[in-house]
Structure 1
Amino acid sequence: MRNLILSAALVFTSLFGLTAQAAEPIEAGKQYVELSSAVPVSEPGKIEVVEMFWYGCPHCYAFEPVINPWIEKLPADVHFIRVPAMFGGPWDAHGQLFITLDTMGVEKKVHTAVFDAIQKGGKRLTDPNDMAEFVATQGVDKTKFLETFNSFAVKGKIAQYKELAKKYEITGVPTMIVNGKYRFDLGTAGGPEQALQVADQLIAKERATLTAK
């Protein structure tokens, strides 16, 4: 976990030194890397954009006000999903929290409040009972939350997402993956805004490929 946090810190410190890259056409090996093996997407026929994140990551939190308006404007042929990075300890606890909320269909309602509580409110939210108490303040039923938290469906998603992180070969967060083929982070892209520009160009690249078929 220490290496991952250090990786995130290095990303943060590079945000302001690489902004010039955004003016150049993107290139594999520079702003992004092409995965050695493409990872199947969850909705074939759509262009998938994944954001790997962690509620305990301050850089993911700072990315929220930048990426959220972009998500809202994505065209119908693009499918965006958040995937929690789980590398043990609080990463796993927060990942299971996110998956539980997503499984219950309340993630969009509670996501920002959870981030605020951890990043601004000083809450750890690593204990399921503490999680249940907190989400109850956001209108989520405590009993149903705990039942879902320990459900087979959530445990299956945890295994699935851990396997995805391995296939994406991520080493830090936030990291984005376009259509299971291209991976980049804020550092390689040049900053938060530039990361979304890289995403837009890769989405266009994939759209052209799909149209040509």
Structure 2
Amino acid sequence: MKKLFSALILTLLIPLTSYAKDYSDGNGYTTIPTPVRTADPSKVEVVEVFWFGCPHCFHLEPSTQAWKKTISNDVDFKYLPAVFGRNWLAHAKAFYVADLLGIEDKVHEDIYNAINVKRERLNTEDSLAAFFAKHGVSEDVFRKQYNSFAVESRLSQADAKIRAYGVRGTPTLVVNGKYLVDASTAGGSENIYNVVNYLIKKEEQNK
């Protein structure tokens, strides 16, 4: 009896992390039925489908930034803004304006904070023009990019990719065009990047 009791205690003392890598389709991630082609086949692509107005995306962002500092040059990380509602469009366009102007890294966190902390909606061209002006972008330059063919083209491409992925909510991480990871599949937002790292290794081994 004592041996049985001791065995049970040892089992309970095994770190939970020992099971952390035991992921499978439906347990940690879901597999996309038809893989979506990535931009660079020589790398493992990780895409975060997000919305600046999403509180869950906002709370995940510090983890995203910390995780980005740990990835190798073989991993290609990208943000992909979703448009699942009327107010989402302006935020997606703001992302692409910043990207085209080469200031996305500088304003990404500020847009999140303006919307989620300061409660600025930033869902109109005028309000975004004023926001970008505070970051050194003239109103004329902003409006030209905001209404440009380049932005519209990127929006269309993003929409097509998100549909192909089968993403239905934000934030969702897409690994190498094959796997979807979100808080639900990962067992909590704090575990999302553990699953992503597992899938990155899985894809690297496949290569």
Q: 1:87 to 1:143 in 2, by over 3 A?
A: same
- When the two chains are superposed, the root-mean-square deviation of aligned CA atoms in Å is 1.6
- Residue 21 of structure 1: CA displacement? 10
- Residue 20 of structure 1: CA displacement? 8.5
Q: Are residues 1:122 and 2:119 paired?
A: yes
Q: 1:34 to 1:159 in 2, by over 3 A?
A: same
- Residue 141 of structure 1: CA displacement? 2.8
- Residue 146 of structure 1: CA displacement? 1.1
What is the CA–CA distance in structure 1 between the aligned matches of 2:18 and 2:179, rounded to whole Å? Answer: 17
- Residue 94 of structure 1: CA displacement? 0.9
Q: Are residues 1:191 and 2:184 paired?
A: no
Q: With the length of structure 1 as denominator, give the TM-score of the two structures.
A: 0.86
Aligned counterparts, 1:5-20, within 5 A = none
The counterpart of 1:53, out of the listed 40, 43, 50, is: 50
Please list every run of 5 or more consecutive structure 2 residues that lacks an aligned counterpart in the other structure: 1-15
- Residue 186 of structure 1: CA displacement? 1.3
What is the CA–CA distance in structure 1 between the aligned matches of 2:171 and 2:55, rounded to whole Å? Answer: 10
- Residue 142 of structure 1: CA displacement? 2.4
Q: With the length of structure 2 as denominator, give the TM-score of the two structures.
A: 0.88
What is the CA–CA distance in structure 2 between the aligned matches of 1:49 and 1:24, rounded to whole Å? Answer: 18
Are the counterparts in 1 of residues 186 and 192 from structure 2 also a CA contact under 8 Å? yes
Amino acid at match of 1:201: Y
Count of residue correspondences: 192
3-state DSSP class of the match of 1:183?
strand
For residues 147-171 of structure 1, give each alpha carbon's deviation from its aligned partner in whole angstroms, at most 9, with x where no partner exists.
1111111100000001111111111
For residues 46-82 of structure 1, give each alpha carbon's deviation from its aligned partner in whole angstroms, at most 9, with x where no partner exists.
1100000001110100001111111122100000000
3-state DSSP class of the match of 1:32?
strand
Runs of 4+ with deviation above 3 angstroms = 19-22
Q: Are residues 1:85 and 2:102 paired?
A: no
Greater RCO (CA < 8 Å, at least 6 residues apart): 1
3-state DSSP class of the match of 2:45?
strand
Match of 1:62 in 2: 59
3-state DSSP class of the match of 2:48?
strand
Aligned counterparts, 1:94-105, within 5 A = 94-105=91-102
- Residue 22 of structure 1: CA displacement? 6.5
Aligned counterparts, 1:148-163, within 5 A = 148-163=145-160
Amino acid at match of 1:44: P
- Residue 172 of structure 1: CA displacement? 0.8
The counterpart of 1:43, out of the listed 35, 40, 61, is: 40
Are the counterparts in 2 of residues 49 and 78 from structure 1 also a CA contact under 8 Å? yes
Computing the radius of gyration from Cα coordinates, the structure with the larger value is 2
Match of 1:167 in 2: 164
Are the counterparts in 2 of residues 57 and 173 from structure 1 also a CA contact under 8 Å? yes
Amino acid at match of 2:198: Q
Q: 1:136 to 1:54 in 2, by over 3 A?
A: same
Q: Are residues 1:181 and 2:160 paired?
A: no
Are the counterparts in 2 of residues 46 and 77 from structure 1 also a CA contact under 8 Å? yes
Deviates more, 1:174-183 or 1:88-97: 88-97
Please list every run of 5 or more consecutive structure 1 residues that lacks an aligned counterpart in the other structure: 1-18
Are the counterparts in 2 of residues 50 and 178 from structure 1 also a CA contact under 8 Å? yes
What is the CA–CA distance in structure 2 between the aligned matches of 1:51 and 1:135, rounded to whole Å? Answer: 23
